[in-house]
Chains A and B, each alone.
Chain A
């Protein structure tokens, strides 16, 4: 596992509830989602045709929390980065470990690409 340090990004109030917000950091374009009790972060780039996942609608698919890409409705698992629909073995999105501590959103740069 990566041992990169956790970086404070912002306070949780800066992320709209159940929506995404873009984060520019270290040259990366990251989509942060505020799920109410936790925050998840994925690279803001749909594996299909680079669609902005941050603008998608948060939903569930077979019990997993997903975002639906606004361009052609691919469903991406926000935890694993997997494309769940249409194909479960499709390409993955890069994910970043994220957590909320004392109201601060902390992010860790994920050096290992999650390819399954």
Chain B
């Protein structure tokens, strides 16, 4: 006979415990009650949802199929208001009664609402659930004045999210410094400066006395009389355990439901896990210890009593990109017998402090750089004797690469604090299940699916252990901004950075170099579909003056000649311009167009105007040309109109930037006279259809292009090219030609994500291409409106002459 196990609370701790029970040989009929209407989701990532970094679907932990497949009854949207211990039943507000043999209470906690006048006004929110996040998202936006009450972890994450949604955000904090439970005063100051540099206003020692306004909040009053306008308020002033129903039922409750080391309550058939519990005076606000609880209970409730719950070392990590904070243990350095080791670098915004007693770590604070937090956490948990490391406590052992670092960790080391996955468990999963990618590892072990900060470590473990590990190209862009290009795209998008300098200021060394600046210029352009802040000082000289620099400092001018087709009038103009400007060399290029070489910088705008032709983009990482053969227009073998198709293809894609130069060709039959099989994108005509091929090259190396798709109509061929083109723009690494790109991703993936993708995915690619295209224009039109001093040198007589220069300024 199966036992009925009822679970109150469909949140992180309760469902995790059920997952663990499923791993044991159990004999339960499980029913989970949750008052939220959503399936089990990752509450930690609500901050990311608010920040626009994650969609609601991304944070689901167990979808409805999981409940079905495991025979679990889910009762969602149902609030339990009474537990009858005598009759072993629970009752919902909606009026239904359920009997149980065993009961697990996992009701979590609720936001604490301080007694402030007007707190019930519209526009005053808490931030705990997915619905809260949705409400906040709906109301936030540009021009909204938001005030966050509380400068703890939750308040700051909410503040950053709202600010990224466009709100003007002020954080009001009661304490003397931010995150005062996790940071000392100096740490709080460092964090404050960091947040202010991100654009969030912060006031400490701020006592809120009232919310003003009629029905809807309009302002916040402080005890010093200050009035702040506010159309949106988030109260994040702490949490209190949801232990009310347990108390009324007669269970032993202090602040939280009292549990022992097996998570048993004062009633033999009732257990509790999560933030609603209290263990030896400890309350909980982070998931790591709750998952410990879940494991211990799952074992003991299924008759496998083993390890016990022993409480935890508090450790906190702030999840705001660009404002790293890590804190663990007791960081009070005024205590008797402790030593303090610290590092402060105001210009880098880095603050680190370690508290030691008898050469053992007791507390740690990291602000601005929390990259080696796991090392400190390990020392703290294991009570490691640090006598030998005293000389380089704060500097990570320089020789140890990530891999070696990971290798040195003990098997018991918890790699993923959020999900409580140990190094040993990860290695076992890699071996037994043949995992070789991070995605597989996440899927099978749940490591790195919480806050995600252990992804790097998981990656190194894969690298060290998996025989099939394929190096994922996650190289950092440059030491000036030490992030991979994928991360940078994500940062630029989610943190709404529109200019190169902003990225460098917040995530880099503030200056940059010739490697990262052009790459960042590309990334902001492509992420914002051309709606970015163009910064010419970050571009290579070719892109500042739209011409290719030559060995003697002169430039070359190659006008666009779509499909290699020209006219006598155009040729005449080119000839006239060449003579007028004394162009030293006129040459037909390898790409079916004409090059005017040896042009002085100052002559460029004049030449473009006289030519009246578009820029051929021969100087940039963009669309060069579409070479064509004569095709069916004149050729006796031609099966398709390669000229018209090539001209149209060039017209659709020209003027856009790409990760590296993109060269295309269209041929009218497989004889391939314009070499389409060795181009980045090639169209090969055949009787009644087109082959679209990609990733070809005949440069440094020769690579035959791969077939993307064969289609019947010219329009379909143009669309397929456009899909691949935009996909390459969005996923290519800067300076990666398509021949490397398709090899890195594999053609299967490329096809699946482009021509064989779902209709809405394809439409998305085409729409984004169109948006970029709508904002793009012929670079040579800058001749009509040159940036100040883009082309002309300053001429000054020997004794200097300021007046002339003053006039020049007045003209611009």
Residues on A facing B (Cβ under 8 Å): 7-11, 13-19, 21-26, 32, 49-52, 55-61, 65, 68, 70-71, 73, 104, 107
Contact = CB atoms under 8 A, between A and B. Distances in A.
Contacts of A16: 536-537, 787-790
A32 B512 CA distance: 19
A66 B449 CA distance: 42
B624 interface: no
A26 B537 CA distance: 28
Nearest to B797: A25
Contacts of B788: 13-14, 16
Contact of B809 (A13, A21, A55, A65): A13
Nearest to A16: B789
Given A8-B802, A59-B513, A24 B537 contact: no
Given A24-B796, A55-B553, A104-B802, A70 B540 contact: yes
A60 B514 contact: no
Contacts of A73: 514
Interface in B775-812: 787-790, 793-796, 798-802, 805-806, 808-809
Contacts of B809: 11, 13-14
A10 B789 CA distance: 12
Interface in B237-271: none
Contacts of B514: 56-57, 59, 68, 73
Most buried by B among A7, A17, A59, A70: A59
A60 B808 contact: no
A11 B793 contact: no
Nearest to A58: B537
A9 B552 CA distance: 26
Given A8-B800, A104-B802, A21 B512 contact: no
Contact of A59 (B511, B793, B799): B511
B193 interface: no
Interface in B519-569: 536-538, 540-541, 544, 549, 551-553
B189 interface: no
A22 B793 contact: yes
B212 to A, nearest CB: 43
Given A11-B806, A58-B537, A71-B549, A23 B794 contact: yes
Interface of B: 480, 509, 511-514, 517-518, 536-538, 540-541, 544, 549, 551-553, 787-790, 793-796, 798-802, 805-806, 808-809
Given A7-B800, A56-B514, 14 more contacts: A9-B796, A9-B800, A10-B794, A13-B809, A14-B808, A16-B788, A22-B793, A32-B794, A57-B537, A58-B511, A59-B517, A60-B513, A70-B541, A71-B549
Nearest to A49: B551
Contact of A11 (B536, B538, B805): B805
A19 B796 CA distance: 19
The 7 A-B pairs with the shortest beta carbon distances in the complex, nearest first, are: A59-B513, A7-B800, A22-B793, A18-B537, A10-B805, A55-B541, A52-B553
B14 to A, nearest CB: 52
Contacts of B540: 57, 70
Contacts of B538: 57
A27 to B, nearest CB: 9
A61 B513 CA distance: 8
A26 B806 contact: no
Nearest to B511: A60
16 contacts: A7-B796, A9-B794, A9-B796, A9-B802, A14-B788, A16-B536, A18-B537, A21-B789, A23-B793, A24-B794, A24-B795, A32-B794, A50-B553, A57-B537, A59-B511, A68-B513
A57 B541 CA distance: 8
Nearest to B788: A16
B800 A71 contact: no
A6 B651 CA distance: 54
Given A7-B800, A11-B805, A56 B541 contact: yes
A51 B553 CA distance: 6
Most buried by A among B511, B537, B553, B796: B553
B802 A11 contact: yes
A77 to B, nearest CB: 13
Contacts of A26: 798
Contact of B805 (A9, A51, A57, A61): A9
Contacts of B808: 10, 14
A65 to B, nearest CB: 8
A19 B537 contact: yes
Nearest to B787: A16
Contacts of B800: 7-9, 107
A31 to B, nearest CB: 10
A10 B794 CA distance: 8
Most buried by A among B788, B789, B790: B789
A23 B537 contact: no
Contacts of B512: 59
A99 to B, nearest CB: 14
A77 B514 CA distance: 14
Contacts of B509: 60
A104 to B, nearest CB: 6
B511 A17 contact: no
Contacts of A13: 788, 809
Nearest to B516: A59
Contacts of A60: 480, 509, 511, 513
Given A9-B800, A49-B551, A14 B789 contact: yes
Given A11-B802, A18-B537, A24 B793 contact: yes
Contacts of B793: 21-24
Nearest to A7: B800
Contact of B794 (A22, A57, A61, A65): A22
A16 to B, nearest CB: 6
Nearest to A32: B794
A60 B510 CA distance: 10
Contacts of B517: 57, 59
Contacts of B552: 50
B329 to A, nearest CB: 35
A60 B511 CA distance: 7
Contacts of B551: 49, 71
A14 B551 CA distance: 27
B200 to A, nearest CB: 25
A114 to B, nearest CB: 22
Contacts of B801: 8
